[in-house]
Amino acid sequence: MSVSLRIIFAGTPIFAANHLEALLLNSKYQVVGVITQPDRPAGRGHKIKLNPVKITAQKYNIPIFQPTSLKEVRIHKILASLQIDIMVVVAYGIILPKEVLCIPKLGCINIHGSLLPRWRGAAPIQRAICAGDTETGITVIQMDSNLDAGNILYQKICPITINDTTASMYNKLSLLGIECMLSTLDNLLNNKTVQLKVQNELSATYASKITKTEARLNWSCSAVELERCIRAFNPWPGSYFMINNQLLKVWKATVVPYSKLQNKIQPGIILDADKNGIKVGTNMDILNLITLQPPNKKIMSAEELLNSRCDWLTIGTVLT
């Protein structure tokens, strides 16, 4: 193995780009190439938008590969020719076939945003917040052909506070992930013995991909569940409800306990609306909407919204 690890990096979003930049700024590692997903159209104009990893690789003049599939023999030959010691994978979004996993001398490692085996899959941060988990973390695994199921090389815990959103956890776990990644690579570079930990399959849970449809607030859920969803879907896709055929996003809410069990509240009904928030009935307790966003408008407080749309949000109106 070379004195400086020869690394190929695979990733796509900003979370991955932060890790890539940390590698590029560390002289102990030589990033000889970057694999990222193909350019795709985005936004209303469907213009081609470069992903954050590609932008970072271009900034540092690193060779970029954007295959539609890693099953292509051509890609296998390119990777083999680079004589890489290890592949570092962070939120790449495409499964690595066995033919790729066996190319690097030290195999492939994945930096994953959860405490595996909990929350394997595409959306571990969002699912952890939705589930009410009080902690998550970073897990570095030696990759195998199964999804996020490889042996654990390194793991570190990060608490989830009652105010954390996916956006805030994204930042926390990005910093923690870089720390875990560099520590793991240091151990490998210095030939330190790494104690592998086999994942307990009985404890595994799956973090399925987030859809815009599930971000719609279901008032038949409890206020606690809805408040978690609002934090989990911030910044994307944003929790929302419909009123007068208009979509209103909700960016912040609180739970108001309701103990009058003899008078069950109709889910979705507006119980009160003032400068302190818009109080809506749920299956259990009341959800107080504090920060909202009308269509094509800025994010605003409940008070600001009521000043401009008071006819929409009157007491007794049922939201859908």
Strands 5-11 and 239-243: unpaired
190 and 236 share a domain? Answer: no
Whether residue 259 is contained in a domain is answered as yes
304 and 225 share a domain? Answer: yes
29 and 58 share a domain? Answer: yes
Alpha-carbon gap, residue 108 to 241, rounded angstroms: 43
222 and 249 share a domain? Answer: yes
Whether residue 96 is contained in a domain is answered as yes
263 and 192 share a domain? Answer: no
Tell me the pLDDT of the chain (320 aa) as tens digits. 446 899 999 999 999 999 999 999 988 899 999 999 999 887 776 788 899 999 999 999 999 999 999 998 999 999 999 999 999 999 998 889 999 999 999 999 999 999 999 999 999 999 999 999 999 999 999 999 999 999 999 999 999 999 999 999 999 999 999 999 999 999 988 877 778 999 999 999 999 999 999 999 999 999 999 999 999 999 999 999 999 889 999 999 999 998 765 578 899 999 999 999 999 999 999 999 999 999 999 999 999 999 988 788 899 999 98
Phi-psi region of 208 (alpha: psi -120 to 50; beta: other; left: phi over 0): beta
What is the full DSSP assignment across 175-232? HHHHHHHHHHHHHHHTT-----B---GGG--EEPPP-SGGGB--TTSBHHHHHHHHHH
Among the candidates 207, 227, 262, a domain finishes at: 207
Whether residue 316 is contained in a domain is answered as no
Structural element, H or E, at residue 181: helix 166-189
Parent domain of 99: 5-207
| Domain total in the chain | 2
Whether residue 320 is contained in a domain is answered as no
CATH label of the domain that carries residue 26: 3.40.50.170
46 and 187 share a domain? Answer: yes
CATH label of the domain that carries residue 303: 3.10.25.10
219 and 71 share a domain? Answer: no
